[in-house]
Amino acid sequence: MDFALSEEQSAIFDMARDFGQDRIAPHARTWEAAGTIPKDLWPEVGELGFGGLYVSEASGGAGLSRLDATLVFEALSMACPSVAAFLSIHNMCAKMIDSFGSDDLKARVLADAVSMKTVLSYCLTEPGSGSDAAALKTRAEKTNAGYVLNGTKAFISGGSYSDAYVCMVRTGGDGPKGVSALYVEDGAAGLSFGGLEDKMGWRAQPTAQVQFDDCQVAAENLIGIEGDGFKYAMAGLDGGRLNISACSLGAAQTALTQTLQYMSERKAFGQSIDQFQALQFRLADMEIELQAARTFLRQAAWKLDQGAPDATKFCAMAKKFVTEAGSKVVDQCLQLHGGYGYLADYGIEKLVRDLRVHQILEGTNEIMRVIVARHLLANR
């Protein structure tokens, strides 16, 4: 058993961290205030190979492992978890197309997705179905030319911003087996968007409803086989959960590093506040929590890479553990900054807001427990 990163993995981490510090961190607050990420960032991200992190090399992707990809998200989140998490969603979509799409679809769309000339969104949630995603109602009727879509997707990261939408829609009867995945390009007739959601965190990312009113989609834009869309959507989520955990980890690590520095400078009662043992213990607890989270996350990623039978359970456990650890740590870091932690200039309050949603999306942390409990009960 080897817990060390290889030289190549360290290089991947360093490249992502340096890019984040250079091209994202200086702008994170401006982009948050603007409510959008400049589109011209993405081709630069694509040039580093981050637009198709685990898209196969045969399809033009970087062909990295899931473990390698978590390093990229951990490192980029040190600059801004909202931007890093947006990239995770794009990668989840690109991987779905690479794994399940027809050769024609892959040839048509993957090169631009990998280079990030096009940015992709993932559309599963609806106003009436979130955790119970298989209850989705958006209907796709088959016609001679393809499909006609009617319905609404809710909370879509990149809604009205992205260039294409990977949409889970109902082509058959009730339940997961009636769901198919379709690739819907921006500009499709009958595709429109709700207003931008006003959110607690992840404010740099536009979030909006995606609406279909007799939206026309070509038959060739079906991803894989009709009726298998829910399976594809869930397959994408195991990796998405790892990435989102990595985003919590990187952001929390940044907050801890910054807090260590702050505590050496801030004085109270005639000494720097890092001299109070009660506060040193809090620092120690945070370090323990983050190291445990990192080890657990990398183990889950390794399981997914190995195709281990319990990989889904480990991805769910890691997601629950790491995202809660990350939120706890950034909240403590805010506390250790005193009143200054509450001010936007210090950057910590943004992390508290950004990380909160990691406990809600890619499956809520309650649903992560449902998955773990189901495995426990099935295998007793």
Ligand X SMILES: Cc1cc2nc3c(=O)[nH]c(=O)nc-3n(C[C@H](O)[C@H](O)[C@H](O)COP(=O)(O)OP(=O)(O)OC[C@H]3O[C@@H](n4cnc5c(N)ncnc54)[C@H](O)[C@@H]3O)c2cc1C
Q: Which residues are catalytic?
A: 362
Cα 223 from Cα 21, distance rounded (Å): 36
Question: Shortest Cβ distance from residue 103 to ligand X (Å)?
Answer: 27
* Integer CA distances (angstroms), 160 to 90, 120, 187, 196, 207, in order: 14, 11, 10, 8, 8
Burial class (CB in 10 A: 0-12, 13-18, 19+), 377: exposed
Q: Which is nearer to ligand X, 162 or 254 (CB)?
A: 162
Structure tokens at 100: 């399940």
Cα 114 from Cα 201, distance rounded (Å): 27
Examine residue 155 and tell whether it contacts ligand X (CB under 6 A).
Answer: yes
Cα 85 from Cα 227, distance rounded (Å): 28
Query: Residue number with the shortest CB distance to ligand X?
Result: 130
Residue span binding ligand X (CB under 6 A) among the ranges 25-33, 287-295, 341-349, 366-374: 366-374
Examine residue 218 and tell whether it contacts ligand X (CB under 6 A).
Answer: no
Q: Which is nearer to ligand X, 335 or 364 (CB)?
A: 364
Of 5, 196, 370, 372, the one binding ligand X by CB under 6 A:
370
Examine residue 82 and tell whether it contacts ligand X (CB under 6 A).
Answer: no
Examine residue 81 and tell whether it contacts ligand X (CB under 6 A).
Answer: no
* Integer CA distances (angstroms), 14 to 48, 71, 269, 333, 366, in order: 12, 9, 39, 24, 34
Cα 37 from Cα 30, distance rounded (Å): 9
Please, what is the end-to-end C-alpha distance for the chain in angstroms? 27
Question: Shortest Cβ distance from residue 153 to ligand X (Å)?
Answer: 6
Examine residue 37 and tell whether it contacts ligand X (CB under 6 A).
Answer: no
Examine residue 84 and tell whether it contacts ligand X (CB under 6 A).
Answer: no
Examine residue 135 and tell whether it contacts ligand X (CB under 6 A).
Answer: no
Of 23, 199, 266, 375, the one binding ligand X by CB under 6 A:
199
Examine residue 373 and tell whether it contacts ligand X (CB under 6 A).
Answer: no
Examine residue 89 and tell whether it contacts ligand X (CB under 6 A).
Answer: yes
Cα 312 from Cα 238, distance rounded (Å): 6
Question: Shortest Cβ distance from residue 369 to ligand X (Å)?
Answer: 7
Structure tokens at 138: 């958006």
Burial class (CB in 10 A: 0-12, 13-18, 19+), 7: exposed
Q: Which is nearer to ligand X, 171 or 207 (CB)?
A: 207
Q: Which is nearer to ligand X, 122 or 232 (CB)?
A: 122
Q: Which is nearer to ligand X, 207 or 221 (CB)?
A: 207
Of 157, 245, 312, 332, the one binding ligand X by CB under 6 A:
157
Question: Shortest Cβ distance from residue 73 to ligand X (Å)?
Answer: 16
How many residues are listed for the chain in this entry? 380
Examine residue 240 and tell whether it contacts ligand X (CB under 6 A).
Answer: no
Q: Which is nearer to ligand X, 106 or 353 (CB)?
A: 353
Cα 273 from Cα 92, distance rounded (Å): 43
Of 62, 109, 362, the closest CA to residue 234 belongs to 362
CB atoms inside a 10 Å sphere around CB 117: 14
Examine residue 202 and tell whether it contacts ligand X (CB under 6 A).
Answer: yes
Contacts with ligand X, 103-132, as mask; x by CB under 6 A: ------------------xxxxx----xx-
Examine residue 36 and tell whether it contacts ligand X (CB under 6 A).
Answer: no
Examine residue 360 and tell whether it contacts ligand X (CB under 6 A).
Answer: yes
Cα 81 from Cα 255, distance rounded (Å): 12
Q: Give residue 7's Cα distance to chain centre.
A: 26
Question: Shortest Cβ distance from residue 378 to ligand X (Å)?
Answer: 16
Examine residue 86 and tell whether it contacts ligand X (CB under 6 A).
Answer: no
The number of residues that bind ligand X (CB under 6 A) is 21
Q: Which spans of this chain sit near ligand X (rule: CB under 6 A)?
A: 89, 121-125, 130-131, 155-157, 199, 202, 207, 357, 360-361, 364, 366-367, 370
